[in-house]
Structures are given as C-alpha cells and as structure tokens.
A and B are shown apart, each in its own frame.
Chain A
Amino acid sequence: MKLAVLDSAELSARLRGPGLVLRTGPVWLRITSQLDSVAAALASLYAEQETLLAGQAQPFCDFDVRVDAVSGPRRWLRPQAQFLFDALKPFKPMALPHASAMLEWGLNWCVSSHCHQYIIIHAAVVERGGRAMVLPAPPGSGKSTLCAGLVNRGWRLLSDELTLIDPLSGELVPLARPVSLKNKSIEVIQAFAPEARFGPLTRDTVKGTVSHMRPPATSVQRDTERARLGWVVFPRYRADSAIKPMPLARGEALMALVDNAFNYHLHGRQGFDTLCDGVAAADCLRFEYSDLEQACAYFTALADAQEPLR
C-alpha cells in the first residue's frame, strides 16, 4: 500500500504511536515523531513509498529512527530537534525547523554507515534502458541538479546521494528517496519541471537553503529493479559553458569512485574486481554544462543510441 493512501490523521497517529513503517528500495524503516512538520514532509516526499495496511504483519525494520524536539529549557530557547537511531544520538541537535531535513540526512547516514552488503559510493545514480549513469561529484558541482533534471526528463531515479552496488553481481540497487536540492538549484528545478513536488524549504542550514524533491512515482514503483553500470560521469556546472563532454580514462574514473566510496575497503578483493569489471564496461567522462535542458538532451541521446539492456 502506498503511503499516500493514509490520511493525515492516520499518518500522524502512526508517527506518534508505534511508528510509521515504510520501505524504500532494499530497506525498511520505522519512523516515529511527534512533530507535525515531519509528518507533513513525509506525506509530501514519501507519498509513493510502500507502507503497511493496518494490522499487517510488520517486516524486520532495518532502521528504527526518531526525530523529535529536544525537551527541557530548549523548548523555549531556540528550540531544537534531535535525530535518534535505535535510541542513540549520532548527531548534535539542529534547529527545530530543520527537523524534516535532519531526518533525510539521518537516513543517509543510516544507509551509508550500515548497509555494508553493498559497495556504497557518494554519488547520484539514474537509469535509462537498463544502464545506470553514476554521477559522483563534490558539493556544488551540479550533481543533484543534473540528477533531478534527468529524472524529470524520463530517466529513472536510483538515488541522488548513495549509489549502492551489489558486490557479487555488480548490479546497481535502487534507493529512490527524495532528491536534495540546495539554494539556486531549487528554483532551477521548479522552473525546469513545474510538475515536480517539493517538501518544505529549510533555511539557514550549514548547506544554505535546502528543499527535497519527491522522487518520481515511476522510479519508486520500479525500486526493486536493478541496473548495470553504463556510464560514470563527473559533472561540473560552469556558468555560460556550452555542454562539454570530455572522455576520462577508466583507471582514473575507477580511482575517483574509490575516493568517493564510503566502505570500499570493507569489500577487499571482491570490491576491487567488481568495480573494475563495472568500469571496464562503462563509458567514463567529465562533463561541463550550464544549460540543464541541453545537458539532459545530450545524455538522453547518448542512452537512446544504445540497445536497451532489457
């Protein structure tokens, strides 16, 4: 059952009571919160994700998390929110208006710190024709903007932040959660895809103003469908630049993936072989752009020029 089926009263009751259980990609979450802002953000951003019918047997939940206001004098003086994972507090509290963004960041941390059955790379990943395009890049490079642009032009979102690679098969595993956009990127995507749905604007975070875009419904519906690595692209937004694809040697691309991995070292020889096999079969490039529509058209033409894998 989709989360959108729950009315706001039922959603709040679950969040305030036993917890809202939902699945995103390969992980099940149980989320509790007394905060209306968290309920509203979940209703908006996770509308397409699977949740449980009332009374349905609960699966094992990989992550049991909670976001709530800090109690005590903090209720009155610059109120704060706290993220809890299995009752542990992995982060310092943040300003209360940042609660829903904190939940997203906390969930990223949960996956990147615990899902070691996968090789996890800090990169966006999208798919078309069965081939995945991995977009590793530092903050400010336009990675999430390009990712959001592509998924609003027919590509499937696998993740905007965490690329999960099955070390045994080399397949990329979807984790179609909300896409995090910052500052000017928010307006860029709102203008680029007026139909896209956004969560609340969270201002004055360490990253500036942040808003999350709801993953496209089709991406969530296909979030058990894996993909093969087709491209490794290192994007860079550069004002007034024409699109500029520059071939990148595969050895360098592999080293950059290793540098962006959270847990490559845990996978030993298997991780090395899996990444080498994947990159050997992929096209690798650096890519400069300023016009998002042109960039999306370039990659779509690139993907559509190849035979679909499935």
Chain B
Amino acid sequence: MTEALAAQPLQWRLQAGSPLCFRQLDDQFLVFNAASGDTHLLSASGHELLQFLSEQEARAWSAPALAQALLGESEDADFCLSLEHSLRYFEQLGLLVPVLP
C-alpha cells in the first residue's frame, strides 16, 4: 500500500477560497494572493502556469497531468521535472497546497 502511494505523482491545487489577481506591468507579471495578502513577481512561464491553474475547475494537478494539459504530452521528463519545481515553488509561496494522492 505504501509503495503504491509512493509511486503516485505528487499533486497540488490552488488554495481553497484564495482568488489570485494578476497584473501585467510592461513585460513583467504580478500576482496578488488575497488569502495571504502577499504579492509576487512572476516569470512569464510561471504566470502562464498559475493563470492556467486559476482558470481550471478546482482540482488537483500532478506535473505529468499538467504537461499533458499544457503540451498535449506527458512523456517529456525534463519538462515534467521543471513543472514540478515550479509547483513546489508556488507551494512555498503559499499559492498552492499539496494534495495527498
């Protein structure tokens, strides 16, 4: 059972009840997290990822599932790893919460 759980990819979802507000200033992107009151400067790819998550139904996403949704394929290990790093970073910022598989 434990091994089965460990084999499942990690998942994240947006903080419940915390709408994110996005703004673009020049070519830079900002996000305001109403739940924490924090503002963050985002890279273009980070902004695209968060924007995508905030536009989806409230659900949990793994990196491979996101890769599938964004690129139409989930086999690119480097891209999945990069997505997972971004998701972990957003978790540290309090924008996402991890979800137990």
Contact = CB atoms under 8 A, between A and B. Distances in A.
Interface of A: 249-252, 254-255, 258, 264-266, 268-269, 272-273, 276, 279-280
Interface in B14-31: 21, 23, 25-30
B29 A251 contact: yes
Contacts of B26: 249-251
Nearest to B19: A269
A70 B86 CA distance: 56
10 contacts: A249-B27, A250-B25, A251-B26, A251-B30, A252-B28, A258-B39, A264-B37, A269-B34, A272-B32, A279-B25
Bin chain B's interface residue count.
Answer: 10 to 19
Nearest to A261: B39
Contacts of B21: 269, 272-273
B41 interface: yes
Contacts of B34: 268-269
Contacts of A269: 21, 32, 34
B39 A255 contact: yes
A272 B39 contact: yes
A269 B34 CA distance: 7
Contacts of B23: 272-273, 276
B25 A254 contact: yes
A39 to B, nearest CB: 43
B28 A268 contact: no
Contacts of A254: 25, 30, 39, 41
Describe A's contact surface by its main secondary structure: helix
A140 B17 CA distance: 43
B57 to A, nearest CB: 23
Contacts, number: 45
Nearest to B27: A249
Given A250-B25, A251-B25, A269-B21, A276 B30 contact: yes
Contact of B37 (A255, A265, A279): A265
Contacts of A251: 25-26, 28-30, 41
Contacts of B37: 264-266, 268
Nearest to A267: B37
A251 B42 CA distance: 9
Interface in B27-59: 27-30, 32, 34, 37-39, 41
A267 to B, nearest CB: 8
Contacts of A265: 37-38
A167 to B, nearest CB: 13
A255 B32 CA distance: 11
A252 B38 CA distance: 15
Given A254-B30, A268-B34, A280 B25 contact: yes
A37 B75 CA distance: 76
A145 B26 CA distance: 31
B45 to A, nearest CB: 15
Give the most central of A250, A265, A268, A279: most B CB within 10 Å.
A250
Nearest to A258: B39
Nearest to A250: B25
A276 B26 CA distance: 11
A74 B26 CA distance: 58
Contacts of A272: 21, 23, 30, 32, 39
A59 B41 CA distance: 44
Contacts of B29: 251
A252 B39 contact: no
